[in-house]
Structures are given as structure tokens and as C-alpha cells.
């Protein structure tokens, strides 16, 4: 399992696309937070915080993470190399976990450089250090949970089709619905007393909760539940394809 994990990391980092995805994420975040005259611009905002990072990142992740995961199983199925994986002394779930952890680590590689923003604002604050560190680190942990969840969705989408583009599109659609769809239904007020429950099913509600700086056990359980759910769906699809 560990060797497959390393292979996935090397495969991604040996391709131009891998570095392009990471660079695009950092450039987009840097432009919105430091250069472009938007509401998220840290220098124009006038307060020592990086809230814009945690508001924008989920929307960038909706495209970044599917781009990372789209080839996980799609490419293996298209080229037939998935059969070689089945000959290894690994269970289907071990294969899935190796690919999942590799993709998650790659997303973390993209996120870690953004810590520079925190230390920059720390120095720019008056006096230096005048920043809500608790809220920042809570939001950062929430961002990691969000990334882990989106990776599980992307992996599932990759197991559905042999075409990488199809996998990418499916992953984007699922992440958009999972993150924004339940809030949209809540705003419509169709279900009366159940509206709040509907909203709590969405990823956005739990991400926002953690982003307040308090890591609630209910939010952690929610994220782990969604991750496990999509990993088992992936396992089901892989097992189904294996015996077709």
C-alpha cells in the first residue's frame, strides 16, 4: 500500500499538469488576496485577517481537486493497468486508500504555501501579531477537512468512467451540489421545520462552523462520515467493474 501511495505521488509530480494545478491555485489565491481590487484584498480590507482565503478556497477546490483526482481510476481503467493493481497483494480498499491519501497529500502541498499569508498579515498588523490566530487555525483545519472530503468525492467520480474529462465534470457537479445545493434548498424554505436539518446535510454548514475557530465534534464526525461514505461507494464501483 505504501509503495502504491509513493507511486501515485511520483506520477503526479512527474507530470507538468501536477505542477500547473498547484501553481494555478496559488496564483489565483494570490491575485484575489493581494493584487486585484476585490472585497477579499487583504491590503484594502484594513483589518489583520485572511478570511478571504477561506471564503475563496472552497470554490477553487471545486475545480482543483477534481483535476487532481480525475485520473486516479479513469486512466487506470482506460489503459488497462488497473488489472496489474488487482494482481498485487492488496485489497480493493487498500488500493483506494493509497490513491486517496496520495491525492490528499498533493492538495496539502497546494495549501501549505498559503501559510505565508498568515505570517505576512501577522507582520503587517498593528501592532505586529494583531491577528485572531484561533480563528485562522480553526479555519485552516476546516479547509483540510473540506479538501479531504472533496478528494473522496473526486475519487468516486473517477471510478465511474474511463474518460478523465467525464470524471472531472462529474466530480465538479457533485462537489458543487454537496457544498452549495443544501444551502440553496434551505433558502427556498420549502420544508418548513425541516429546513435547518436540510441545511445541516450540506458541507458548507459544517465548514462554516469549523471556520469560526471552534472544532466541534459534530462537524468532525460529519466530515469523516461523508469521506467514508464516498470511499465505500468507490469500493463498490471498483468491485462491480472487476467482476463485469
As a whole number, the mean pLDDT across the chain is: 84
Check: CB of residue 174 under 8 Å from CB of residue 93.
no
pLDDT > 80? residue 188: no
- Give the whole-number percent of the chain exceeding pLDDT 90: 31
**Model confidence over 148-187: pLDDT tens digits?**
999 999 999 999 988 889 999 999 999 999 999 888 877 7
Q: What is the rounded average pLDDT of the residues 187-214?
A: 80
The winner for highest mean pLDDT among 48-52, 118-122, 138-142 is 138-142
How many residues in the chain?
244
Query: Measured between alpha carbons, how far is 118 from 114 in angstroms, rounded to an integer?
Result: 7
| Rounded Cα gap, residues 219 and 148, in angstroms | 13
Mean pLDDT score, 101-126: 86
* Nearest-angstrom CA–CA distance, 196 and 186: 7
pTM of the model: 0.90
d(CA 237, CA 232): 9
Rank 3-12, 36-45, 220-229 by mean pLDDT and report only the highest.
220-229
Question: Can you give the residue ranges of every domain in the chain?
Answer: 2-242
Query: In the predicted model, what is the mean pLDDT of residues 181-202?
Result: 78
pLDDT of residue 20: 84
Q: Measured on CA atoms in the order 3, 12, 58, 133, is the torsion positive or negative?
A: positive
Count the helix, strand and coil residues of the chain and give each as a percent rounded to the nearest 5.
80, 0, 20
Instruction: In whole angstroms, give the CA distance from residue 87 to residue 90.
Output: 8
For 32, 115, 174, 181, 208, the CA distances from 199, given in Å and listed in that order, are 28, 30, 16, 9, 12
Query: Which residues, in sequence order, are CB contacts of 114 under 8 Å at separation 6+?
Result: 26, 29, 53, 57
Residue with the larger pLDDT of the pair 79 and 119? 119
Confidence of residue 58 (pLDDT cuts 50, 70, 90): very high
DSSP assignment string, 27-85: HHHHIIIIIS-STT-HHHH-SS--HHHHHHHHHHHHHHHHHHHTTTTHHHHHHTTHHHH
Non-local (6+) Cβ contacts of 160 within 8 A are 166, 167, 170, 237
Amino acid at each position: 500500500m505504501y509503495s502504491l501511495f509513493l507511486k501515485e505521488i511520483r506520477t503526479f509530480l512527474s507530470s507538468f499538469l501536477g505542477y500547473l494545478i498547484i501553481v494555478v491555485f496559488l496564483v489565483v489565491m494570490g491575485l484575489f488576496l493581494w493584487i486585484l481590487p476585490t472585497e477579499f484584498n487583504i491590503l484594502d480590507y484594513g483589518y489583520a485577517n485572511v478570511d478571504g482565503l477561506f471564503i475563496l478556497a472552497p470554490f477553487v477546490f471545486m475545480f482543483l481537486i477534481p483535476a487532481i483526482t480525475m485520473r486516479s481510476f479513469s486512466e487506470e481503467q482506460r489503459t488497462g493497468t488497473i488489472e496489474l493493481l488487482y494482481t498485487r497483494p492488496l485489497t480493493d480498499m487498500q488500493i483506494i486508500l493509497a490513491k486517496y491519501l496520495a491525492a490528499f497529500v498533493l492538495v496539502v502541498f497546494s495549501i501549505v504555501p498559503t501559510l505565508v499569508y498568515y505570517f505576512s498579515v501577522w507582520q503587517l498588523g498593528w501592532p505586529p501579531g494583531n491577528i485572531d490566530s484561533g480563528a485562522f487555525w480553526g479555519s485552516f483545519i476546516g479547509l483540510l477537512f473540506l479538501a479531504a472530503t472533496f478528494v473522496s468525492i473526486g475519487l468516486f467520480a473517477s471510478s465511474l468512467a474511463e474518460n478523465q474529462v467525464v470524471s472531472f465534470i462529474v466530480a465538479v457537479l457533485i462537489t458543487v451540489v454537496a457544498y452549495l445545493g443544501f444551502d440553496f434548498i434551505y433558502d427556498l424554505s420549502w420544508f418548513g421545520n425541516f429546513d435547518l436539518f436540510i441545511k445541516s446535510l450540506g458541507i458548507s454548514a459544517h465548514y462554516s462552523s469549523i471556520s469560526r475557530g471552534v472544532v466541534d465534534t459534530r462537524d468532525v464526525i460529519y466530515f469523516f462520515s461523508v469521506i467514508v461514505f464516498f470511499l465505500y461507494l468507490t469500493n463498490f464501483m471498483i468491485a462491480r467493474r472487476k467482476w463485469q
